[in-house]
Structure 1
Amino acid sequence: MGVLATVTDAVSVHLGDKPLWLAVSIVAGATLTLAIVLNVLSQLLPVRRKGSDPPLVFHWVPFIGSTVTYGIDPYKFFFKCREQYGDTFTFILLGKKTTVCLGTKGTDFILNGKLKDVNAEEIYSPLTTPVFGTDVVYDCPNSKLMEQKKFVKFGLTTEALRSYVSVIAAETKDFVANSNWFKGSAGDLNVPKAMAELTIYTASRSLQGKEVRAKFDSTFADLYHDLDMGFTPINFMLPWAPLPQNRKRDAAQRKMTETYMEIIKARRDSGKTEPEDGETDMIWNLMNCEYKSGQTIPDKEIAHMMIALLMAGQHSSSASISWIMLRLASRPDIVEELLAEQKAVLGADLPELTFEDLSRLPLHSQVVKETLRLHSPIHSIMRAVKSPMPIEGTPYVIPTTHVLLAAPGVASKCPEYFPEPMLWEPHRWDAEDSSKYSKLKPIIAANADDDEKTDYGYGLVSKGASSPYLPFGAGRHRCIGEQFAYVQLQTILVTMVQTFKLRNLDGRKGVVDTDYSSLFSRPLTPASIHYERRVNEKA
């Protein structure tokens, strides 16, 4: 305070009769300059750093720290810091010391952390609660979340997944035939916008049933987009801020909650406990579920769980199928390979797709895998530190004042696991070991052999987080919709390949840049490609 007072006094000597606003501006500027100088000196002077602290990434402005650099391109930031500091380092993210642990060991350290040591709810609740609603996901104790996951697994059984293939295929065929996105025999398509609409239709129809799907049209898809905009980084700190996108988010949340509540009320009023046509959807299931305490799920919680389920079933799939389409447009040869595979395996007449067919189309599966490898939907997974955590093999102990950050997508872009890692090449996953890209296979096989499973309260799931390919996370918060995502993406892919030839717009090579402005990574819009409808391809 003495230094600040001296600076303020020195500045005031030169102000004279200047206006108050100018005086305030000069003092504020001097204070900021002093803060920056002191912050830089504190990092440059040979002050002894605690041996247990990871190295701190150099930054100029206090509080802001590395927020801007990280936010523009997280992976570029991670790799640059890794080169300078190693796999473990700390950076300032909006005033919070955030410790990053890269590599497969770092991912395992964070994602398999014990409940007494790490906490996800404290990090994500401010962001997700205004979007999903109260008392679900991260707005409830972890034990309750595990019960909710168990309820939702009703719609993710093998039998359920088998039934979804035909409805997802039908929704996709109807979309490419009748939506305004595909006009005429050929044209240009803004992929992210179109795929966002398609995936909300496929997710709502398969996961939530005919009645919910009937509520969704392009207008409702826009409402969903408003809700989705609540996942902006600023809402980690200011979810209550009266920003335009937050007002739209809140209005969309109320409208979607009301829509689900109306469906639930009508069913309650009917006195029925199951549908007359026998097609039991997720709402029917949740209406008949009880927590371990014996309490039935309140209707508002059902509505909020349905919003969370829809976003889980749509959001990452929307970005992923967009990347698949964009990547295929840059490789028309792969598109034709996929069609040839369908004809060779399914038959030249391309009959209706079944769940069993998906496992018989390896190149289709490899296109999905390779795209998820390069374009993992979530680039950063954070946890609050609840007790000091020593990192094995290092002198570091992460204190409770830090946030931990895992970035599984870094390992999937490392040449030690994936030769030419930034090359999109589905054939690197070929079963034959002759491929120059096959270095990964023994690593994946070893991890599969050692893969420990555990039950966090919603059924056995893989505990392992030591694989370099983890697009759906690991540990107790591993995405339970992983298998649904593969079914959804592969089914849409099959239908798109049957229907269209794809290529980049004239003069463009490669794919568009990534938009990291949201919690989820997605293509930077607009991202357009050229499509041409196939004619008599079944012949």
Structure 2
Amino acid sequence: MTVVIFIFLLDQLSHGPLKGRKSPPVIDVAPVWGGMLAFLAGPMKLMREATPKYGEVFTVPVFHKRITFLIGPKVSEFFFKAKDTEMSQKEVYEFNVPTFGKGVVFDVDHTTRAEQFRFFADSLKSNRLRMYVGMMVKEAEDFFSKWGDAGEVDLLEQLSELIVLTASRCLLGREIRETLYSEVTDLVHDLDKGMVPLSVFFPYAPIEAHRKRDAARKNLAKIFDKVIQARRESGASEPDVLQTFIDARYKDGSRLTNDQVLGMLIAVLFAGQHTSSITSTWTGLLAIANKERVMPALEKEQKDIMKKHGKDLDFDILAKMDELHFAVKEALRMHPPLIMLLRMAQVPFEVETSTGKKYTVPKGHIVATSPAFSHRLDNVYSDPNEYKPERFREPNPEDKAQFASFIGFGGGRHGCMGETFAYMQIKTIWSILLRNFEFEMVGKVPEPDYTGMVVGPTAGQCKIRYKRRVL
């Protein structure tokens, strides 16, 4: 206890007010562990209670750390526009290293990570996306062909399964999808369950979830080492993200090791698998729950496109589905899977609130902004708690009124590179569903489950009733 208090006092001195500048207000909690208890009780609860009292900028002490919250687009501008040398992801996301592996993403310096992000970008170029859409369509059509003429399904369970199938084909490769799917899926599940709230603070704690995570990571490495080595030796080339990472070269001509290729794949999978399954589920639940108001525009769009293109679905046809795009985007506005975005302040920076108050956030603070909270502010969106896809239509889309109003895919320098891939994937699923089925809710729209690292609808409460259309 003496050591903890000593660290706390040192931190108070090192993070005290900057001379001549006003630091953000610090919320009133018990010393040392009070902020931790408030944070673990739920960041959404914390923000709901703290914002009316402290305003758009406030600091939460968590042990010897300081987390400064920036609430809303006005105070978040520097967060999204700053360079990596000013606002860094690495220090706050290093807890991912046991899962992703050494030498990739958050275990490398800024320059190396920038090159690795270039590899990501290469895997998501338009020519690649066009090939992926064909894979998405096939997986979705095969999956929904197994539904009956009528029935009830748990939408979250069904779409999560489909997303994994699609990810296996587009990201992990033909070999995994065709011969090793079940084995790899089980290992990825253990890897996923190894990331718990405790992992953020103690990623190497000797708990069962971490032991399973580490074992799964080792077994995945063995499987992918064989697949990658076989491709390297045969000179085979496949149209998937795995191949992009195998072929990737740094500026000095060196390439990723087999284990680093796997690490990059895991990073992509974790970035997209849950977020896509959750957002595709919310899209369906919210559209069906508001079917009289929302469904006519979605169904008309599909009918109009089918009159022109028949049953074809490709990248260009999906890009024309504005109404479906708005429906997905509105679901993501209301229920972003990542409720917190974090950075480490490498330099002090000034923020000004919408009421004109100015604060200087000190160097060394963890800085947090929240899509889930900011997207529900009534000074950013009209009727923020209502599902209104039409809010994004021209000529006055609400998300364009001010910078960083919509941050479902992050924003600025670190906007999600997989945004187009995600929209294509979700629009493929719902285009096929809208063309082939009619839907009704079973029960009410579920509440978000804030107990998980990635927030989705509460499991077991996502039942819908479907009926196959007579064409």
Q: TM-score, structure 2 length as denominator? A: 0.88
Q: Which residue of 1 is the match for residue 245 of structure 2?
A: 286
Alignment of 1:105-504 (within 5 A): 105-126=74-95, 128-178=96-146, 182=147, 184-215=148-179, 217-218=181-182, 220-270=184-234, 272=235, 274-275=236-237, 279-333=238-292, 334-335=294-295, 337-347=297-307, 350-392=310-352, 394-431=357-394, 440-441=397-398, 444=400, 466-504=403-441
Cα displacement (A) at 1:416: 2.0
Cα displacement (A) at 1:215: 4.4
Q: Which residue of 1 is the match for residue 15 of structure 2?
A: none
The structure with the larger Rg is: 1
Q: Give distance in 2, aligned partners of 1:479 and 1:269.
A: 33
Q: Which residue of 2 is the match for residue 459 of structure 1?
A: none
8 Å contact from structure 1 (residues 187, 532) kept in 2: yes
Q: Which residue of 2 is the match for residue 27 of structure 1?
A: none
Cα displacement (A) at 1:70: 4.0
Q: For the structure 1 residues 352 and 475, does the alpha-carbon distance in structure 2 shift closer, same or farther, using more than 3 Å as the test?
A: same
Q: For the structure 1 residues 221 and 488, does the alpha-carbon distance in structure 2 shift closer, same or farther, using more than 3 Å as the test?
A: same
Q: Give distance in 2, aligned partners of 1:327 and 1:248.
A: 36
Q: Which residue of 1 is the match for residue 453 of structure 2?
A: 519
Q: Give distance in 2, aligned partners of 1:331 and 1:131.
A: 39
Q: For the structure 1 residues 476 and 266, does the alpha-carbon distance in structure 2 shift closer, same or farther, using more than 3 Å as the test?
A: same
Q: Give distance in 2, aligned partners of 1:287 and 1:51.
A: 50
Q: SS where residue 173 of structure 1 aligns?
A: helix
Q: TM-score, structure 1 length as denominator? A: 0.77
Most deviating of 139-148 and 350-359: 350-359
Cα displacement (A) at 1:75: 3.2
Q: Which residue of 1 is the match for residue 69 of structure 2?
A: 100
The amino acid across from 1:56 in the alignment is V
The amino acid across from 2:67 in the alignment is T
Q: Which residue of 2 is the match for residue 529 of structure 1?
A: 463
Q: Give distance in 1, aligned partners of 2:438 and 2:188.
A: 30
Question: What are the Cα deviations for residues 403-429 of structure 1, in whole angstroms up to 9, with x where unaligned?
Answer: 111223433212222111010122223
Q: Give distance in 1, aligned partners of 2:64 and 2:440.
A: 45
Q: Give distance in 2, aligned partners of 1:406 and 1:480.
A: 19
Cα displacement (A) at 1:498: 2.3
Q: For the structure 1 residues 51 and 291, does the alpha-carbon distance in structure 2 shift closer, same or farther, using more than 3 Å as the test?
A: closer
Cα displacement (A) at 1:218: 4.9
Cα displacement (A) at 1:488: 0.8
**Cα RMSD between the aligned structures?**
2.8
The amino acid across from 1:241 in the alignment is A
Q: SS where residue 378 of structure 2 aligns?
A: coil
Cα displacement (A) at 1:117: 2.8
The amino acid across from 2:107 in the alignment is D
Cα displacement (A) at 1:532: 1.9
Q: Give distance in 1, aligned partners of 2:297 and 2:333.
A: 20
Q: Give distance in 2, aligned partners of 1:215 and 1:95.
A: 49
8 Å contact from structure 1 (residues 290, 297) kept in 2: yes
Q: SS where residue 57 of structure 1 aligns?
A: coil
Q: SS where residue 343 of structure 1 aligns?
A: helix
Q: For the structure 1 residues 387 and 381, does the alpha-carbon distance in structure 2 shift closer, same or farther, using more than 3 Å as the test?
A: same
8 Å contact from structure 1 (residues 200, 310) kept in 2: no
The amino acid across from 1:473 in the alignment is G
Q: For the structure 1 residues 50 and 265, does the alpha-carbon distance in structure 2 shift closer, same or farther, using more than 3 Å as the test?
A: same
Q: Give distance in 2, aligned partners of 1:230 and 1:477.
A: 25
Q: For the structure 1 residues 387 and 521, does the alpha-carbon distance in structure 2 shift closer, same or farther, using more than 3 Å as the test?
A: same
Q: SS where residue 344 of structure 1 aligns?
A: helix
Cα displacement (A) at 1:136: 0.7
Q: Give distance in 2, aligned partners of 1:520 and 1:117.
A: 26
Question: What are the Cα deviations for residues 63-91 of structure 1, in whole angstroms up to 9, with x where unaligned?
Answer: 33244444454334323322111111011
Q: Percent identity?
A: 30
The amino acid across from 1:52 in the alignment is K
Q: For the structure 1 residues 515 and 206, does the alpha-carbon distance in structure 2 shift closer, same or farther, using more than 3 Å as the test?
A: same
Number of residue pairs matched by the alignment? 455
Q: SS where residue 367 of structure 1 aligns?
A: helix
Structure 2: stretches of 5+ with no match in the other structure = 13-18
Q: Which residue of 2 is the match for residue 28 of structure 1?
A: none
Structure 1: stretches of 5+ with no match in the other structure = 5-34, 43-48, 448-465
Cα displacement (A) at 1:469: 0.7
Q: SS where residue 347 of structure 1 aligns?
A: helix
The amino acid across from 2:460 in the alignment is P
Q: SS where residue 98 of structure 2 aligns?
A: helix
Q: SS where residue 160 of structure 1 aligns?
A: helix
Q: Which residue of 2 is the match for residue 52 of structure 1?
A: 22
Most deviating of 389-398 and 511-520: 389-398
Q: SS where residue 77 of structure 1 aligns?
A: helix
Q: Give distance in 2, aligned partners of 1:281 and 1:422.
A: 39
Q: For the structure 1 residues 308 and 328, does the alpha-carbon distance in structure 2 shift closer, same or farther, using more than 3 Å as the test?
A: same
Q: SS where residue 440 of structure 2 aligns?
A: strand
